[in-house]
């Protein structure tokens, strides 16, 4: 381990200590019976179910929209791409409160607010991974007769694991 890497241990340790401290403080404030009652309360179960369902729906939207868009952003130049690339940073720097305004209205608003942020995260991460995949693989697949609709699911998408 280099000297620089040893210096990085301190911030990591502080973050871990903060997380353990918050969890410890919560655990010390509640007795085991209170915790069990709070976790099994109908309101808590409703909130957990709503969170899981809305998060799953937002993830599905983010993947369905983000992966194809990332592929296009990584592989094809087009007019307005630089402007669109800048626009895609907005959800990442926008305060969560602004994106969370949809939480006030309905579960659909929750899904949209979550998808608003998640889609950009998926798009940015996947675009970087698509750029890391050697375009020669795609060209070789085309010379072997693989169509464009087959290259993405059968070649490009699986190669993301190695990028």
What domains can be seen in the chain, in order of their start residue?
A: 50-162 (1.10.3720.10)
What average pLDDT does this structure show over 146-162? 77
Residue 44 has pLDDT above 80, yes or no: yes
Average the pLDDT over each of 32-41, 45-54, 68-77 and give the range with the smallest value.
Answer: 32-41
Residue 136 has pLDDT above 80, yes or no: yes
What average pLDDT does this structure show over 38-44? 89
Residue 125 Cα to chain centre, angstroms: 8
The chain-wide mean pLDDT, for the chain, equals: 85
Check residue 153 and report its DSSP letter: I
How many angstroms separate the CA atoms of 141 and 155, rounded?
Answer: 8
How many angstroms separate the CA atoms of 16 and 25, rounded?
Answer: 14
How many angstroms separate the CA atoms of 110 and 55, rounded?
Answer: 8
pTM: 0.67
Give the number of other CB atoms < 10 A from CB of residue 141: 17
Give the number of other CB atoms < 10 A from CB of residue 53: 13
pLDDT of residue 18: 93
Structure tokens at 159: 């190669």
How many angstroms separate the CA atoms of 129 and 123, rounded?
Answer: 10
Residue 77 has pLDDT above 70, yes or no: yes
Structure tokens at 160: 């993301």
pLDDT of residue 81: 92
Give the number of other CB atoms < 10 A from CB of residue 60: 13
Nearest Cα to 89, choosing from 126, 132, 119?
119
């Amino acid at each position: 381990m280099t000297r620089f890497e040893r210096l990085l241990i301190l911030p990591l340790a502080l973050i871990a200590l903060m997380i353990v401290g918050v969890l410890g403080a919560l655990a010390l404030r509640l007795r085991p019976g209170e915790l069990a009652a709070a976790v099994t309360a109908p309101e808590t179960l409703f909130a957990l179910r709503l969170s899981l369902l809305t998060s799953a729906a937002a993830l599905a939207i983010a993947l369905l929209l983000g992966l194809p868009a990332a592929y296009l952003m990584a592989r094809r130049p087009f007019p307005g791409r630089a402007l669109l690339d800048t626009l895609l940073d907005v959800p990442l720097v926008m305060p969560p409160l602004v994106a969370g305004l949809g939480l006030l209205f309905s579960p659909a608003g929750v899904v949209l607010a979550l998808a608003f942020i998640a889609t950009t995260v998926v798009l940015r991460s996947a675009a970087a991974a698509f750029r890391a995949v050697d375009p020669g693989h795609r060209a070789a697949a085309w010379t072997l007769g693989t169509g464009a609709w087959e290259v993405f699911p059968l070649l490009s998408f699986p190669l993301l694991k190695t990028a």
